[in-house]
Structure 1
Amino acid sequence: PLAEAKLIDPLTAGRPQRLARAYVFHSPADRTVRSPAGRVSARFLENLTGRAVAFDDGDPADGSDAAGHGIITPGPGRDACRLEERGDDATATFVRSCGREDNVGHMFHALFGEEAAYDPERRAPDIPEADLWRFDQGRLVAQVTAERPAIANDAALVPFWPATAYSTARRRNLDMAATGYLYVPPACRPAGRGCRVHIALHGCRQDPRHFALAAGYNNWAEPYRVIIVYPAIAPGTPLAGSACGSPIPDFLAYEPNPNGCWDWWGYLDSSYRTGRYLTRDAPQIRVIAGIVAAVTAPAPP
């Protein structure tokens, strides 16, 4: 029914037409998203697409099997790999370094590598900060939020509060920041070059700019001719400990979504719009679609 209503991409014989390949990394030591969830996600994608999913649960040789919650990429300036080396995750960036383990390199190889063997030597060095471009995400958010009635309703999340209990500017902007980031590798800068576009979403409690610089996507953008787009959530006031993995405290806190998460559980849905976050009508998804349209628009004559 969702496909027939054009709320998700069309399906052919129950299979998505555009999603064909996937890569899943899940450290067994992840305390936020438990280990079985990664396996279940991989099986779901295999059943959905009808194709095998590249599943990676880390390597004891470099400690990536014990890395915990986060994305793993080699190089300096990242969090220590193992929890006992970090002490705790109170100040973590959730970008880990575990030897040569490279989540993005393996992901792009699974998506675009065809039959060639994975070659870690293709990884480019970290880019200078000046090469990470900013874009006006607020303008694209405003194109979605200009609709009436309001597209997001704080009070509907907590029905036992009065309708006028609170309404934050952050929520009215779909919890999205005014600025997003973009990396265009040298191979994609000349006019007329054909390149892919990849959307990289930071995680809960991650600083969007640090994620864009450190998570490893830029290192593989040139080899695979991929423009990397980094949409951004506005930061909140984080909750302590493992709360970043649970939506429940967000409903009880004064500020909804305090950990700066993307809307993976429907916090922008009101009581009469339940399930919208799963479809192309999801407000943040609509903004991201607008970003892709802007990035891929033909250059003016």
Structure 2
Amino acid sequence: MSNEDSSVAAALPSFKADLGQSSVSGLSSGAFMTVQMHLAHSSTFVGAGIIAGGPFRCAESYRAAAAIAEDALTINALYVCMNPLIPQAAPNPDKLASVARDTAAQGLIDPVENLASHRVYIFTGTEDSVVNSSVVDTTRQFYEKLGVAPGAIHYENTLPAGHSIITDNPEDNPLGVNRPPYINQGGFMQSQVILEHIYGPLKPPAERLSGRIIRFDQTEFFGGDPRASMSRFAYAYVPKAVEEGAPCRVHIALHGCKQGYNYVNFVNGQPDLENCPPYGNRYYTTTGYNEMADANDLIILYPQAEGTDSAASQNPEGCWDWWGYTAEDPQNPDYYSKQAIQIQAIHRMLQRLGGQ
């Protein structure tokens, strides 16, 4: 029996969370998922933080990129949404803004008009070799075209950072590298910048945490469906004051590929259990969100994606779905709507935190 099978975790508790003041951020696949969550439930959120992520449904930029629909989505993801050959081949923000409006008109996501009052943080490092800065620039344009005021967008594109979330932890990777665990040392806590941009002035981060990290069983939120490619457990940081009944807000922090707690490298389709990377807990413990949460009565929700390489789901690097790998019908992929399996699961977690 594996350690995970023999472990137990309680159900996610409820708190006095004002769900109308929720926000979401993420890195890489978590950033693409952040955009999808943000648009799907814009009536719930007040802002978003996007670190190295592209615009809504960019993996469908060129639906005729391959004869097989599934291949077309993957080709778009790799060569349009991550590394376009030239900036002109990056996602088209005008087209994708129109797609977002059409998606809202069909009732698949909340009305895009909600975004006009939101605040958005967008970041790309000049040394990022995973998601090109030309792609992230289209994310800024995409939000502007949907009505987010330029002054409400904090766009940072001058720091010589690799593909990573930035911290001031001396033990993290050098700033400009592009390697796991994709947490680089840049002399500041990017999580703090994100939260302060979304919420306005906040108290400085706590020097010592008063609360606790809750591990909970997240399978109830996606029904244990293997197509979800989500782990058994997820995490939330809850400050002591919130646990004792203080009103609070919720911020969802979405890790990137290879950053889930139980990420395992797959070799020839098999999990390489003898060489598991020892950094799976870093995103929910060392990125600075918890210290800001503790000082400001925030709950930080850390959903967890899981690497899978099976007939049900091909996602060996443990990424969030932003190109359709969870789709039952590749011709009509549903990875971006309120009914998408991962978005629905995360939203259910959020509702639980608010007592719904």
The TM-score, its normalising length taken from structure 1, stands at 0.70
The answer (yes or no) to whether the contact 1:137–1:178 under 8 Å persists in 2 is yes
Rounded to whole Å, the distance in 2 between the matches of 1:7 and 1:255 is 23
Q: 1:287 aligns with which of 337, 340, 345?
A: 345
Runs of at least 5 residues in structure 1 that lack an aligned partner in the other structure: 59-64, 146-171, 238-249
Q: Following TM superposition, by how much is the alpha carbon of 1:49 offset from its aligned partner in structure 2, in angstroms?
A: 3.0
Q: Residues 52-95 of structure 1: CA distance to partner in whole angstroms, max 9, x if unpaired?
A: 2101124xxxxxx2220010011244223233xxxx72xx2111
Asked whether 1:274 is paired with 2:332, we answer yes
Letter in 1 for 2:213: L
Q: Does 1:80 align with 2:152?
A: no
Letter in 1 for 2:184: R
Q: Residue 230 of structure 1: which of 298, 302, 309 is its match?
A: 302
Offset at residue 135 of structure 1 (A): 0.7
Q: Tell me: CA distance 1:34–1:132, structure 2 relative to 1, closer, same or farther (3 Å).
A: same
Match of 2:163 among 59, 69, 78: 69
1:200–1:18 distance in 2 versus 1, CA, 3 Å: farther
1:205 to partner: Cα distance: 1.0
Using CA pairs under 8 Å that are at least 6 residues apart, name the structure with larger relative contact order, 1 or 2.
Answer: 2
Deviations 1:243-277 (A, max 9, x none): xxxxxxx99xx971111000011111133662411
Alpha-carbon spacing, 1:127–1:256, altered in 2? closer, same or farther (3 Å): farther
1:125 aligns with 2:183: no
Question: Is 2:315 the partner of 1:262?
Answer: no
Distance 1:6 1:105, change over 3 A: same
8 A Cα contact 2:239 2:293, kept in partner: yes
User: Are 1:106 and 2:160 matched, yes or no?
Assistant: no
Residue 57 of structure 1, aligned match among 139, 143, 157? 157
Maintained 8 Å contact 1:9/1:17: no
Q: Percent identity?
A: 29
Kept in 2, the 8 Å contact 1:126–1:218? The answer is no
In structure 2, how many angstroms separate the alpha carbons of the residues matched to 1:263 and 1:229?
Answer: 18
| Separation of aligned partners in 2, 1:226 and 1:196 | 5
Deviation at 1:51, TM superposition (A): 1.2
Quick one: distance in 1 between partners of 2:331 and 2:302?
Answer: 27
Tell me which residue corresponds to 1:20. 118
Q: Could you tell me whether the CA contact under 8 Å between 2:237 and 2:290 is conserved in 1?
A: yes
Q: Secondary structure at the match of 1:110?
A: helix
Runs of 5+ in structure 2 lacking a partner? 1-101, 262-280
Runs (4+) of structure 1 exceeding 6 A deviation are none
Contact 1:112 1:224 in 2 (8 A): no
Structure 2 counterpart of 1:136, which letter?
A: D
Aligned equivalents of 1:273, 1:224: Cα separation in 2: 45
- C-alpha distance in 2, partners of 1:18/1:183? 30
CA shift, 1:21, in A, is: 0.8
In the alignment, what sits opposite 1:42?
Answer: 140
Query: 1:189 is matched by which residue type in structure 2?
Result: E
Does residue 1:7 correspond to 2:131, yes or no?
Answer: no
Alignment of 1:163-178 (within 5 A): 172-178=226-232
> Structure 2 vs 1, CA of residues 268 and 132 (structure 1 numbering), >3 Å: closer, same or farther?
same
What amino acid maps onto 1:199 in structure 2? I
Q: Pairwise CA RMSD of aligned residues?
A: 2.7
Pick from 289, 307, 310: which aligns with 1:217? Answer: 289
Query: How many angstroms apart in 2 are the aligned matches of 1:56 and 1:22?
Result: 11
Query: Whose radius of gyration is greater, 1 or 2?
Result: 1
Number of residues paired by the alignment? 234
Partners of 1:282 and 1:124 in 2: CA distance: 36
